Structure 1
């Protein structure tokens, strides 16, 4: 009898554990539920060890920086609500931290809570005014392990994205124009010009869209934003749209690359007036697995508008 009761108890614990792991971490704009992505045991172990180290550092010293890294590590495991909670607690303790507002705003975008994201980025922008430029270390380093962005750039870039995703294109354009002043390398310039180009087209400012492409020199040094460079080359007629969709399957970054490049291609078809092709590409993007990618979220938003 005791073995039977023990077995039932263990089964209940197991089911409880399964239920916990099958809770959605994000609900898309179309109402779909998304869950933690599948990972290899090696990937899972690495992320968990990094989280454990960040948590240990935080428990020893709950500094502003340790709040940030604790929250970021939770987010890399797709624990977005937990990350937001950590950033919120950090803001309560460090109310002048524009970095904490920047990171919480990012995860509000991931969670499709654009109004909250906009409020956070606007607050961060006001707090960072007149402050020294802060380089931002990458949580997921690029191929050269060289950080290319700053906190100030990321505040304005993500604010522009939040406006764009919400469909407030005039505010998005003004924000991306300001963001250009924080672009101190080609990686940042290319990403910002790309979104500004698309935003100008949303506002039917075709001449402005063409002019902004001229801000990118012919020869550029790119470390991590190859996908955005491919999109710009497509706008210039240097690469056919089909080439951007030919993402190498099976590569670790394939889903992210397709979400990014796919949205650009779909939007390009919209600009050309080919709504049917645009919808087809957007559907392919949202059929992917990288639901936290900005291109994925943007494709969700476009499909809702095109219904």
Structure 2
């Protein structure tokens, strides 16, 4: 008879724990709680508010939301609703959407890949790494698949795949944490598995910077052997320009100044800043980081990387 109350008490505890988990499945579990409509706190300590890179995407967002509401159990609807929510600048809501999707489809690597991307956007690098590592395990040994673009390029040819995007973003998350030892093998794999010139140039760019920052200059220079001026670049022109700079085929002056790519492209400006940094011109690097951080596109990878490096190198 004495065992009944114990079992009853155990059941009550289990039910309470489950209910608490459901009730707390909100922002406090998914990311650092912020007030109002703030999206993130920058590494410099600034509060960051929504800033949409796709100002003409409201119609596609409305369609994605309508499709999701009509069939919320469809994983593709969940993914596109999350993607377009992020494209309009609400990264935290996108993370909630992907998390809801994960509760329904815990073995779908795409949900972790996209949620990890948005964890990078809001500077939650550790959470991003966990998501990308999970995604990498889920796709290991499985056939790759094309990942459709939210904003198609000029030729309407998607250049990325699920596997390549997982490795690319996992390497980036390690890089942003300055864990270069872990970023290195990830980027090396990404370069090996690149099957088009766009992927080759983008992954070469990040691996080259990683090698230079690790003091592996000779390895970095060997990495540039496949890079040529006449490559078939559809989308990653900025990374191609940077790789040509690293190889000595493009002068740095052509990327800087009022008309250079670095004046309007955070990716190029960051690459040039880093190039100055590991070549010993720290003041020039600092000035370029500061130029990037005056901009408003705070979710771009170039901006986030500049923010991380500026804090690490010049704000200690």
Same fold? TM cut 0.5:
yes
Deviation at 1:217, TM superposition (A): 4.3
Q: Secondary structure at the match of 1:134?
A: coil
Deviation at 1:256, TM superposition (A): 9.6
Q: 2:112 aligns with which of 95, 101, 113?
A: 101
Deviation at 1:163, TM superposition (A): 0.4
* Contact 2:146 2:162 (8 Å CA) reproduced: yes
Q: 1:113 aligns with which of 105, 113, 124?
A: 124
* Contact 2:75 2:105 (8 Å CA) reproduced: yes
Pairwise mapping of residues 34-113 of structure 1 onto structure 2 (< 5 A)? 34-37=48-51, 44=55, 46-62=56-72, 63-113=74-124
Partner of residue 299, structure 2: 292
CA distance in 2, matches of 1:256, 1:35: 23
Deviations 1:50-82 (A, max 9, x none): 111001111222211111100000000110000
Pairwise mapping of residues 141-152 of structure 1 onto structure 2 (< 5 A)? 141-152=152-163
The change in CA–CA distance for 1:54 and 1:77 in structure 2 (over 3 A counts) is: same
Partner of residue 8, structure 1: none
1:263 matched to 2:263: no
1:32 matched to 2:35: no
Q: 2:282 aligns with which of 275, 291, 295?
A: 275
Q: 2:241 aligns with which of 230, 236, 252?
A: 230
Partner of residue 245, structure 1: 256
CA distance in 1, matches of 2:264, 2:170: 22
CA distance in 2, matches of 1:27, 1:135: 33
Which 10-residue stretch deviates more, 92-101 or 21-30? 21-30
CA distance in 2, matches of 1:242, 1:218: 17
CA distance in 2, matches of 1:65, 1:212: 37
Partner of residue 3, structure 1: none
Deviations 1:206-260 (A, max 9, x none): 11111111133453100000000110111112222232124659xxxx8995211
TM-score, length basis structure 2: 0.84
* Contact 2:255 2:262 (8 Å CA) reproduced: no
TM-score, length basis structure 1: 0.86
Q: Secondary structure at the match of 2:195?
A: coil
Deviation at 1:182, TM superposition (A): 2.8
The change in CA–CA distance for 1:299 and 1:118 in structure 2 (over 3 A counts) is: same
RMSD: 2.0
Q: Secondary structure at the match of 1:245?
A: coil
The change in CA–CA distance for 1:248 and 1:24 in structure 2 (over 3 A counts) is: farther
CA distance in 1, matches of 2:70, 2:257: 47
Moved over 6 A (4+): none
CA distance in 1, matches of 2:42, 2:259: 26
* Contact 1:148 1:187 (8 Å CA) reproduced: yes
Partner of residue 129, structure 1: 140
The change in CA–CA distance for 1:38 and 1:97 in structure 2 (over 3 A counts) is: closer
The alignment covers a number of residue pairs equal to: 279
Pairwise mapping of residues 186-197 of structure 1 onto structure 2 (< 5 A)? 186-197=197-208
Q: Which runs of 5+ in 2 are unaligned?
A: 1-34
Q: 1:173 aligns with which of 184, 191, 195?
A: 184
* Contact 1:177 1:196 (8 Å CA) reproduced: yes
CA distance in 2, matches of 1:256, 1:81: 30
